[in-house]
Amino acid sequence: MPVTRRGALRALFAVGAVGGTAVALAPIVRAGATGRGGDDGKGVLSPGLPHDLTDVFDEMYRGRHIRGGTAGDSTEVTVDGRPLHIMRRADGSYLSMVDHYESYPTPLAVARGAVDELGTARLSLTSMQQTHPMRQL
């Protein structure tokens, strides 16, 4: 049976659809395979953190005290006792307000990345919930 133009286009479309789906799902599958957290940097539960946290870490990194953990859908991370605001991405990775161009596989990795970006600067104590000064005009 000869190959028709219609048959060739159908096959090409099917290969493109399957390939595109595989490329789109690869980060999600990869994040699920590596899991969240890991034993790197896990420590004992720190005072001041809720007791229902999992994937807990508490360590000194480049002279900064980073600690945190995950409780259900929320993740809490602090650098030198100041809150580091992080967000969970759809692919399972994390990003922080300090370095929102880079995604990291775990809360510990995002805390280390924030410390690297901060250098000698400190996180602000200003809450993310406060109003911007320009909105008060």
The domains of the chain are located at: 1-34, 54-118
For the domain made up of 54-118, give the CATH fold. protein ne1242 fold (3.30.1880)
31-40, 53-62, 63-72: least confident range: 31-40
For 81-125, write each residue's pLDDT tens digit.
888 888 888 888 888 888 878 888 888 898 899 898 888 888 777
Question: pTM to 2 decimals?
Answer: 0.54
Task: Write out the DSSP string of the chain.
Answer: -PPPHHHHHHHHHHHHHHHHHHHHHHHHHHHHHH-S--STTB-SPPTTS-TT-EEEEEEEETTEEEEEEEETTEEEEEETTEEPPEEE-TTS-EEESSSTT--BSSHHHHHHHHHHHHTT-------TTSPPGGGG-
**Residue 126 confidence (pLDDT) above 70:** no
